Amino acid sequence: MAQKKPDCERYRVPVGGSFRLSTIDTDDDQDLDRDEARKRLSLNHEQMQEYQQRLYAEGRQSLLLVLQAMDTGGKDSTIRKVAGVLNPQGCHVTGFKAPTDEELAHDFLWRVHDHVPRRGQIGIFNRSHYEDVLVVRVHKLVTPDLIERHYGHINDFERLLVDHGVRVVKIMLHISKEYQLKRLRRRLERPDKHWKFNPGDLEERKRWDEYMESFEIALNRCSTDHAPWYVVPAEKRWFRDMLVSEILVKALTDMDPRYPKPEFDLTRYTPQSIS
């Protein structure tokens, strides 16, 4: 049987504001075969490695992957499984926790801007400036008026990055509330996962609906042509990993980084002529 191709465009949030999270089945796998998906992931890994090298050699553009999810949504393991194959010299992962006093003394993008990948590099954000329209909105940490302005600030910020050669790809790893409970229970069942259990997550869980509402607003207002959002079903982890790699390969293919032309005279320097 011919292998079915995964379709990632199905999960791209359209520009314009009518997207509903409920239209994405968090357990979806497009009826793909798990082993085939694994093979596809490793092919994608090879492509990512090749593109990363070209990106580095070219030194003109960079790729930023923004990952957001509810607690237990799988951000850490996605980064490990998808980006673990990249050359660490050309890839930088940044996690964003609750802001420090110093960070709070600045605008919300101040701490983020510094971690945007330089030309030639791949950057991954484990949480991001979107926390300022998610947790900050749910907990009303700033005034509603300011939250309202944040969406525009984010779109302008991402436009700025794109104008300066940064490809911005944003992925929400989408899970259900029931699945989260399973994952939280698992953290308690397994001694090697206890360190990941944070009683505070139970408090956030009570606000699930408010988080979903905040995600939906952010996705609708900030999925743009220049910096699209994808909502990836994240409960089947083999499907999630393959799909995220698929989205990255697609972005890199589109960026089409090229090895630079040699700046020396190729007729003068040949493998035989040097010693």
Binding site for Mg ion (CB under 5 A): 71
C-beta of 71 vs 131, nearer to Mg ion: 71
Residue 48 and residue 257: Cα distance in Å, rounded?
12
Tell me how far, at minimum, the Cβ of 104 lies from ligand AMP, in Å: 9
The footprint of ligand AMP on residues 89-128 (CB under 6 A) is: 96-99, 127
230 closest CA partner among 221, 218, 219: 219
From 21, 85, 135, 142, residue interacting with ligand AMP (rule: CB under 6 A): 135
Q: Does 21 bind ligand AMP (CB under 6 A)?
A: no
Q: What is the DSSP letter of 13?
A: P
DSSP strand pairing (122-126 vs 91-95): parallel
Using DSSP's 3-state secondary structure scheme, residue 94 falls into strand
Residue 137 touches which member of ligand AMP, Mg ion, none, C-beta under 5-8 Å by kind:
none
Give yes or no for residue 131 binding ligand AMP (CB under 6 A). yes
**What stretches of the chain adopt beta strand conformation (E)?**
62-69, 91-95, 122-126, 166-174, 229-233
Question: How far apart are CB 108 and ligand AMP at their closest, in Å?
Answer: 6
R_g of the chain computed on alpha carbons: 20
Establish if 74 lies at the interface with ligand AMP (CB under 6 A).
Answer: no
Interface with ligand AMP (CB under 6 A), residue from 64, 69, 133, 136: 136
CA dist 157 and 113 (Å) reads: 9
Task: State the residue number with the nearest CB to ligand AMP.
Answer: 131
- Provide, rounded to whole angstroms, the least separation between the CB of residue 179 and ligand AMP: 17
Total residues binding ligand AMP (CB under 6 A): 9
Q: How far is CA 243 from the centre of its chain?
A: 11
Q: What values do phi and psi take at 94, rounded to 5?
A: -125, 125
Among ligand AMP, Mg ion, none, what does residue 98 contact (CB within 5–8 Å per kind)?
ligand AMP
Q: How far is the CB of 238 from ligand AMP (least distance, A)?
A: 23
The sign of the torsion formed by the CA atoms of 216, 221, 225, 227 equals: negative
Interface residue list for ligand AMP (CB under 6 A): 96-99, 127, 131-132, 135-136
